[in-house]
Amino acid sequence: MIIADPKPFGQVKEYIKDYKRVLVVGCGTCVTVCLSGGEAEVQLLASGLRIALGKNGKNPVILEGTVQRQCDEEFVVPVLDRVRDERIDAVVTLACGVGVNFLADRLGSVPVFPGVDTTFYGASAGQGLWAELCAGCGNCITAYTGGICPIARCSKHLLNGPCGGSEKGRCEVAPNSIDCVWQLIYDRLKKLGRLSELQNLLPAKDWRTASDGGVRRSVREYLQEPK
């Protein structure tokens, strides 16, 4: 899942301070799950904006809404309709960056602003905590590392064993909160009886499958409409 954190309130306020009719729109998928951009956050942010801007003597109309996903045309159409029908002059989206872009591509002359900072692909690591687990590199190597990703979970993205900063299983970057992923990989492969595989060096990574190869697309030809 994509993880995001709410943006500092002041930033969002600054974005929209000169607009008169603003729609705050949440997303019902990842950011709802990580408690940063669902309907509850929309309501809270909208209320905060009304209060804060009211104090500055501006009383913009702040409207609210949430759609199931902001990364699909069908779900986003109602937002576009609202923008048109309700004469909205700015949109704040609490979706991840994908949603911001998706809306920007479709909103014509109406600006869209991000309400969250999109951070990583991660998973719940307990109540109220999420941790990064995948970097979306486009060529998964976890088959060789016991299912544990050294790119996402190593502070230095090292592919062939730890650096000198690995101490007692912890990463020198933040020993209190980050495990050394190479310790995890070692332990895991040992458990799997595959420790010897560590001797096979991983070749230098071809980052073209990651963002270095240009903007990526994913195709399922069987479902594409014939040209």
User: Would you tell me which residues interact with other proteins (CB under 8 A)?
Assistant: 8-10, 13, 28-29, 32-35, 38-41, 43-44, 47-52, 54-55, 66, 68, 124, 127
Smallest gap from Cβ 15 to other proteins, in A, equals 15
Long-range contact list for 178-185, CB < 8 A, 24+ apart? 179/153, 180/154, 181/148, 181/149, 181/150, 181/153, 181/154, 182/150, 182/154, 182/158, 184/146, 184/148, 184/153, 185/145, 185/146, 185/148, 185/150
- Looking at beta carbons only, is 125 or 192 nearer to other proteins? 125
The answer to whether 49 touches 12, Cβ cutoff 8 Å, is yes
Instruction: Kindly state the smallest distance separating residue 65's Cβ from other proteins, in Å.
Output: 12
Q: Which is nearer to other proteins, 123 or 158 (CB)?
A: 123
Question: Closest separation between CB of residue 28 and other proteins, Å?
Answer: 6
Nearer Cβ to other proteins, position 36 or 145?
Answer: 36
For other proteins, the closer of residues 127 and 199 by Cβ is 127
Q: How far is the CB of 37 from other proteins (least distance, A)?
A: 8
Nearer to other proteins, 68 or 211 (CB): 68
**Residues 6+ away with beta carbon under 8 Å from 7:** 114, 115, 116, 117
Q: What's the min distance (Å) between Cβ of 144 and other proteins?
A: 32
**Calpha distance 29→2 (Å, rounded):** 9
